Chains A and B, each alone.
Chain A
Amino acid sequence: DAGVIQSPRHEVTEMGQEVTLRCKPISGHDYLFWYRQTMMRGLELLIYFNNNVPIDDSGMPEDRFSAKMPNASFSTLKIQPSEPRDSAVYFCASSLTRGPYEQYFGPGTRLTVT
């Protein structure tokens, strides 16, 4: 298996622009997680899905952030409009409900908003 795939790996955009991050989980995994990592705040869980349904979005910082999972093999995290404080590394991870229970992480997307 190719593992969790994220695109793009790097994104540089100007404040106010829309940003879309993409994730393909490991085939057969039924949980998908979106994280944000910064030096100041560490690793934060933004939202997670089970069988394509959002379960908990309490970590989404504000209405500018939205996430979708239209099918079992694809998810997006959108920021509109983007702000400099959104600069971070965004990780996608997937796992299986019934085990093994560890999460498999993608390589991350480094987002820079200028």
Chain B
Amino acid sequence: AQTVTQSQPEMSVQEAETVTLSCTYDTSENNYYLFWYKQPPSRQMILVIRQEAYKQQNATENRFSVNFQKAAKSFSLKISDSQLGDTAMYFCAFTPLTQGGSEKLVFGKGTKLTVNP
């Protein structure tokens, strides 16, 4: 079974500091994509960052970056210079790729991040 585990139900960080959210996954597939989604209090699900498994280089998007360790099946999210607007639930997700392409995402249970002023 393919699973995604987020071991930190809740985290907090001071504004302007750096925080890392953990995610591990389990799959026998070799080709897949990984994602981090953000869900602020408005409840809109927003894509933060994506990583292709075949790329060794870690993805970055402005203040957001990932540490992708394929052998360890680990995909952590680092938020630098945290801002109050980063307060949200963060979901790690994974989709295997087959010859037919991608189907559904497997989501973790989420990490609730609070950025304190």
Contacts and interface: CB of A to CB of B under 8 A. Distances in A.
Interface of A: 31, 33, 37, 42-43, 45, 48, 50, 55-56, 89, 91, 93, 95-105, 107-108, 110
Interface of B: 33, 35, 43-47, 50, 91, 95, 97, 100-105, 107, 109-110
Contacts of B100: 97
A105 B102 contact: no
Contacts of A100: 50
7 nearest interchain CB pairs? A97-B101, A105-B45, A101-B102, A101-B33, A42-B109, A98-B101, A102-B47
Contacts of B43: 37, 89, 107-108, 110
A42 B50 contact: no
A94 to B, nearest CB: 12
A90 B97 CA distance: 26
Contact of B102 (A37, A55, A95): A95
Contact of A101 (B45, B95, B107, B109): B95
30 contacts: A31-B104, A33-B104, A37-B43, A42-B109, A42-B110, A43-B91, A43-B110, A48-B104, A50-B103, A56-B104, A89-B43, A91-B45, A96-B102, A97-B103, A98-B101, A99-B101, A99-B102, A101-B33, A101-B50, A101-B95, A101-B97, A101-B101, A101-B102, A102-B35, A103-B105, A104-B47, A107-B43, A107-B44, A108-B43, A108-B44
